[in-house]
């Protein structure tokens, strides 16, 4: 594993159901041949021109610019299909935002430079990665895992039914846990760690005026989010919120560098999508996550600035701690005094940036 090996010692000290059975059963549920899944790459490097460590730093940056460029292209071209699905009208981006496109781009580039330098300092060298990950004895790990799989099976099904299941499909179950179950759990937990880190740090930035004024207010110069602005942050906030949060998620879940590359890439893609400014039901980031572009847009408005702190994946922290604002709630709260839902005349007084005085 990268940086820290999973602490197997405390698992070894747990009582084992499997230990009470004869060696024949344990031998039968242990895979005897090396059968890696389709995603396994039996090369020292995923891409021959770049080390896996460097790729883990480059991949999220590449994805960031590609996905942002696609949404920027849609912004510029103003295709009717996508214009109907804009959260805000095109003109609002220029009239309400207090940072120019060039300012946003330079800030993002600077953050990504700092992010890359920090990654090369913190992450292991290619030599260490090869030693701990590429040359890892997977068969030995499968032999260690097999009795633990038996323990879980016996605990869930009982010894009689559990034994029948293990005798019928023991090796396949062990391989599934090793190649799919555990990595999927690590990815999910990594997302949860990022969410937890970013929720609390984000909320703290809004709670203490001095932190908001000097750091987080930079990001809120964008009242109308757009894709390139996803990482438009003060450098200190970018380092703490994004770079450090992703690193903690990797180390806390004992991910390999290749697993971390996937997590970093998905996180980067999701962050851009959350700021894209479009409601697209078929977009995977919006289809499978309630925490999406529409959800985060509410937070960028003056009426929702104290809500929807959660990012980038789930809404759990907002839901459980009472800081969640749905679009329906936002629309009701944003109705000016004297306005009713059936479209009666509004008494809202407009300001230069498009907000009402009441909202400000």
pLDDT digits (tens, 9 = 90+) for 263-311: 999 999 999 999 999 999 999 999 999 999 999 999 999 999 999 999 9
User: Residue 285 belongs to what domain range?
Assistant: 48-135+184-334
Q: Classify residue 357: in a domain, yes or no.
A: no
pLDDT digits (tens, 9 = 90+) for 153-184: 988 998 889 889 999 999 999 999 999 999 99
Q: What share of the chain is helix, strand, coil (3-state, %, to 5)?
A: 65, 0, 35
Q: Classify residue 11: in a domain, yes or no.
A: no
Determine the Cα–Cα distance for residues 139 and 31; give it in Å rounded to an integer.
Answer: 8
How many domains are contained in the chain? 1
Q: Classify residue 1: in a domain, yes or no.
A: no
pLDDT digits (tens, 9 = 90+) for 43-80: 999 999 999 999 999 999 999 999 999 999 999 999 99
Instruction: Kindly tell me if the per-residue pLDDT of 111 is higher than 50.
Output: yes
pLDDT of residue 359: 38
Q: Classify residue 10: in a domain, yes or no.
A: no
Structure tokens at 262: 């996937």
Q: Classify residue 326: in a domain, yes or no.
A: yes
pLDDT digits (tens, 9 = 90+) for 203-254: 999 999 999 999 999 999 999 999 999 999 999 999 999 999 999 999 999 9
- Classify residue 318 as exposed, middle or buried by CB count within 10 Å of its CB (0-12, 13-18, 19+): buried
pLDDT digits (tens, 9 = 90+) for 317-329: 999 999 999 999 9
Q: Classify residue 190: in a domain, yes or no.
A: yes
Instruction: Kindly tell me if the per-residue pLDDT of 134 is higher than 80.
Output: yes
pLDDT of residue 5: 62
Q: Greater confidence, 290 or 13? A: 290
Please provide the DSSP assignment of 74-86 as one string: HHHH--HHHHTTB
Determine the Cα–Cα distance for residues 351 and 298; give it in Å rounded to an integer.
Answer: 19
Determine the Cα–Cα distance for residues 315 and 324; give it in Å rounded to an integer.
Answer: 8
Taking only Cα atoms into account, the Rg of the chain, rounded to an integer number of angstroms, comes to 25
Structure tokens at 107: 């800030």
Q: Classify residue 89: in a domain, yes or no.
A: yes
Q: Is 308 left (phi over 0), alpha (psi -120 to 50) or beta?
A: left
Q: Classify residue 320: in a domain, yes or no.
A: yes
């Amino acid at each position: 594993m990268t940086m820290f090996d999973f602490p197997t010692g405390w698992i070894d000290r747990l009582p084992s159901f499997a230990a009470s059975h004869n060696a024949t059963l344990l031998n039968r549920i242990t895979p005897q041949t090396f059968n890696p899944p389709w995603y396994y790459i039996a090369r020292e490097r995923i891409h021959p021109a770049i080390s896996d460590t460097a790729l883990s730093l480059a991949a999220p940056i590449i994805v960031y610019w590609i996905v942002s460029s696609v949404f920027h292209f849609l912004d510029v071209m103003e295709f009717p299909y996508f214009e109907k699905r804009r959260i805000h009208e095109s003109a609002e981006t220029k009239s309400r935002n207090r940072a120019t496109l060039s300012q946003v781009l330079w800030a993002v580039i600077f953050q990504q430079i700092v992010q890359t330098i920090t990654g090369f300092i913190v992450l292991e060298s290619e030599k260490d990665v090869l030693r701990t990950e590429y040359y890892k004895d997977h068969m030995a790990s499968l032999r260690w895992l097999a009795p633990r799989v038996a323990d879980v099976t016996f605990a869930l099904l009982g010894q009689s039914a559990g034994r029948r299941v293990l005798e019928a499909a023991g090796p396949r179950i062990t391989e599934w846990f090793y190649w799919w179950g555990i990595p999927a759990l690590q990815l999910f937990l990594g997302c949860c760690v990022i969410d937890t880190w970013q929720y609390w740090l984000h909320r703290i930035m809004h709670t203490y005026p001095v932190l908001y004024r000097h750091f987080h207010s930079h990001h809120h110069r964008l009242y109308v989010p757009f894709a390139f602005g996803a990482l438009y942050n003060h450098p200190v906030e970018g380092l703490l919120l994004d770079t450090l949060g992703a690193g903690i998620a990797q180390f806390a879940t004992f991910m390999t560098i290749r697993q971390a590359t996937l997590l970093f890439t998905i996180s980067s893609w999701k962050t851009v999508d959350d700021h894209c400014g479009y409601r697209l039901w078929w977009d995977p980031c919006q289809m499978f996550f309630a925490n999406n572009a529409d959800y985060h847009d509410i937070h960028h408005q003056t009426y929702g600035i104290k809500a929807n702190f959660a990012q980038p994946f789930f809404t759990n922290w907002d839901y459980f701690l009472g800081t969640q604002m749905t679009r329906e709630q936002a629309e009701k709260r944003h109705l000016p005094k004297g306005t009713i839902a059936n479209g009666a005349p509004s008494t809202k007084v407009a300001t230069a940036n498009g907000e009402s005085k009441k909202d400000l």
